[in-house]
Chains A and B, each alone.
Chain A
């Protein structure tokens, strides 16, 4: 009995020491998984997941703190990709899925307060104090962060309309022959 305890204790000490030594000796900064997760996230930087930006959310996912279904802009598609990568189960999205949108400022109402400029995570709003602001549409990620700060509620979200540049061929409708 004592021998058994001693042997196991010895094993534990040796292995523990080796692991401890290795974790100091072979320490590597950064987590490659974070990068992989971040590559899947849509980079809207909207914070709807509750984390300040896509990278913090990616870190939280990689460390197992966060669920994978918190990203509304990524949609169910994004959740599925994350589930594939991490080997977790795909859960339904924790919010409503919306079509892609861009923000539009109504310049008649805009008072030039610059609050939305400060809120925009990707610098997609141009303007200066007491000057009208406008949104550079190709850069807008549709994060909605500029809507709340606006004191005169002159920003609205507009779904991106289909045009010749983003038009897609549709999935062929399968007409399966019915059994008679």
Chain B
């Protein structure tokens, strides 16, 4: 059990997908202007990423590996993730319009999110089994949502701050993201207690 706990804590904090692995920066910058949208994006990503890790694991183990087609991983993962996202969006829109209101406009954005592709590839690289893959996927996406919401909260405040003209907008956001990244590096110290 501790093993699973380490995977989750590691994915959420120590190896945070955005701030340490530097993946999924487009939505991190793009939809962090408001707290509400950040929540929506976080929820949507958590959902898609968990599903995508599961699906990728199945594709990898039951389709690619038996035929020795590991070199097609990137391609087939992208196609699968894209298809799953589209499918999910359609189903949600039909089944639960309320949920679609919340997640709707973010789902298509996730299709080409590098975090969503990167995490399944990391799973393969780490040789995780199915449960571990799912946990790592879920943990990564929770980590993603966490920093996205934190970052959105900070950015809402930056709006009111007196930022030097040339740093306004994305520039100061990048600086902030860098500082947050530095802060998250501090979690690397958790390793000592392993």
Direct A/B contact, Cβ within 8 angstroms? yes
Mark A residues whose CB is within 8 Å of B: 3-4, 7-8, 11-12, 15, 18-19, 22-23, 25-28, 32-33, 84, 87
Q: Is B155 interfacial (CB-CB < 8 Å)?
A: no
Cβ of A84: which chain B residues have Cβ within 8 Å of it?
33-34
Cβ of A27: which chain B residues have Cβ within 8 Å of it?
94
Q: Is B69 interfacial (CB-CB < 8 Å)?
A: yes
Cβ of A33: which chain B residues have Cβ within 8 Å of it?
104-105
Cβ of B76: which chain A residues have Cβ within 8 Å of it?
7-8, 11
A-B contacts, 7 of them at CB < 8 A, read A3-B69, A7-B72, A15-B80, A15-B83, A19-B83, A19-B86, A87-B30
Tell whether, in the assembled complex, residue B80 and residue A22 are in contact, meaning their CB atoms are under 8 Å apart: no
Tell whether, in the assembled complex, residue B101 and residue A32 are in contact, meaning their CB atoms are under 8 Å apart: yes
Chain B contact residues, majority secondary structure = helix
A108 to B13, CA, bound (A): 76
Tell whether, in the assembled complex, residue B63 and residue A7 are in contact, meaning their CB atoms are under 8 Å apart: yes
Cβ of A19: which chain B residues have Cβ within 8 Å of it?
83, 86-87
A7 to B91, CA, bound (A): 26
Cβ of A11: which chain B residues have Cβ within 8 Å of it?
59, 63, 76, 79-80
Q: From residue B96, how far is it (CB to closest CB) to chain A in Å? A: 11
Given A4-B72, A32-B104, also A23-B90 (CB < 8 A) = yes
Tell whether, in the assembled complex, residue B69 and residue A26 are in contact, meaning their CB atoms are under 8 Å apart: no
Tell whether, in the assembled complex, residue B64 and residue A7 are in contact, meaning their CB atoms are under 8 Å apart: yes
A-contact 0/1 string along B25-36, CB 8 Å cutoff: 000001101100
Given A11-B63, A32-B104, also A26-B93 (CB < 8 A) = yes
Q: From residue A172, how far is it (CB to closest CB) to chain B in Å? A: 14
Q: In the complex, given contacts A7-B67, A26-B94, what are 8 additional A-B residue pairs having Cβ atoms less than 8 angstroms apart?
A: A7-B64, A7-B69, A11-B59, A22-B86, A32-B100, A32-B101, A87-B30, A87-B31
Cβ of B31: which chain A residues have Cβ within 8 Å of it?
87
Q: From residue A130, how far is it (CB to closest CB) to chain B in Å? A: 52
Tell whether, in the assembled complex, residue A18 and residue B33 are in contact, meaning their CB atoms are under 8 Å apart: no
